[in-house]
Structure 1
């Protein structure tokens, strides 16, 4: 795997003062946001990009609130958020908007992805292990509800799963039920 690595810079934010470093994997530019001493054991959130939830405050998903929760947690307890450029479960923004339109007509998130010719979830996590090895991290406490993330890291020991529970709203209740019942998320 060929990855270019940026310098480390300061990132003052609403949730505290962090350090950031970018990792360029082909056309994808991922970001590490971290605070505190980087030890071989780390609190970690692996977060896939969601422009509509993270930046625009969409109520159709729980992505933005999960990212905010993770940044607050890392600010208070130390650790890292790895922000992966995998918009819309890695189908891209254009296809995600088309999936949203299909959801508006009654399909759920999985049905919409399948109708567009994609798997329910196209994300991959190989670059996460590369990043963790770069920082010499061997053990993590993983902030996640996604069981795939618990089992995808082959060379990293997951000591504990730290759940991120976000209150449902009228716009994302169905979405969260699909994540729980069809994708096995631990909600």
Structure 2
């Protein structure tokens, strides 16, 4: 990893996987981080790693692999818990003094894209749940892939992680790509009248580990 902003290329064997484009200091309300920009070869999408501390050869690193959510992360939508989870993850990493948020672009609406996500919202306004809405539109429920996240964690030199997630599928997929996930750290946020149905659907139909007591 080159921290002075020079582009580097990551490879698997002889095959190019992605480029590490640039990095810089990133002061935030949660403290100072370093932001790294990655771009998979042949794609235009850019992913980022928001890093605190020197993670090379570290074990049990606190990690959040976060899917892009414009409505939740940027606009503060209360229809989901995405923005709250991102904020909580950055705060927890800052408190721990070490960790990383891998922010995956192109994951909007569990991979269906922003426009389709808003189409699904329209159906949810009419009483469908988040899973039914996708299926009604002829779309998959969840097509997110975590291979690039695994490559980024490897590029950062991390040996093993404590993954901040409520999603067992995410843990399984990262493990399949060779990430040593040794612990799950829950990311529980406040329930609201706007997102309680969404969260219950994720628990009941997608197997998310949530607490509604």
TM-score (norm 1): 0.96
In structure 1, the residue matched to 2:101 is 81
Tell me the equivalent position of 1:183. Answer: 206
SS of residue paired to 2:64: strand
CA–CA distance in structure 2, aligned partners of residues 2 and 27 of structure 1: 13
Say if 2:118 is the partner of 1:97.
yes
Q: How does 1:86-125 map to 2 (within 5 A)?
A: 86-125=107-146
Which residue of structure 1 lines up, in the alignment, with residue 47 of structure 2? Answer: 30
TM-aligned CA deviation for residue 145 of structure 1: 0.3
Q: CA deviation at 1:139?
A: 0.5
Kindly state the Cα deviation for residue 157 of structure 1 after the two structures are TM-superposed.
Answer: 1.3
Post-superposition shift, 1:64? Answer: 0.5
Larger radius of gyration: 2
CA distances 1:118-142 after superposition (whole Å, capped 9, x unpaired): 1111111010111111112121000
Runs of 4+ in 1 over 2 A off after TM superposition: none
In structure 1, the residue matched to 2:65 is 46
Structure 2: how far apart are the matches of 1:184 and 1:20? 32
Q: Which has the higher contact order (CA 8 A, sep 6+)?
A: 1
User: Is 1:3 aligned to residue 3 of structure 2?
Assistant: no
5 Å-filtered alignment, 1:53-72, equals: 53-72=72-91
- Deviation digits for residues 43-71 of structure 1, max 9, x if unmatched? 10000000000010100000000000001
Name the SS of the counterpart of 1:111 in structure 2.
Answer: helix
Corresponding residue of 1:132 = 153
Once the two structures are TM-superposed, the CA of residue 2 in structure 1 deviates from its matched residue by: 2.9
The CA deviation string for residues 133-177 of structure 1, in whole angstroms up to 9 with x for no partner, is: 111212100000000111112312111111011111000010000
Q: Is 1:167–2:187 an aligned residue pair?
A: no
Q: TM-score, normalised by structure 2?
A: 0.85
Deviation at 1:27, TM superposition (A): 2.4
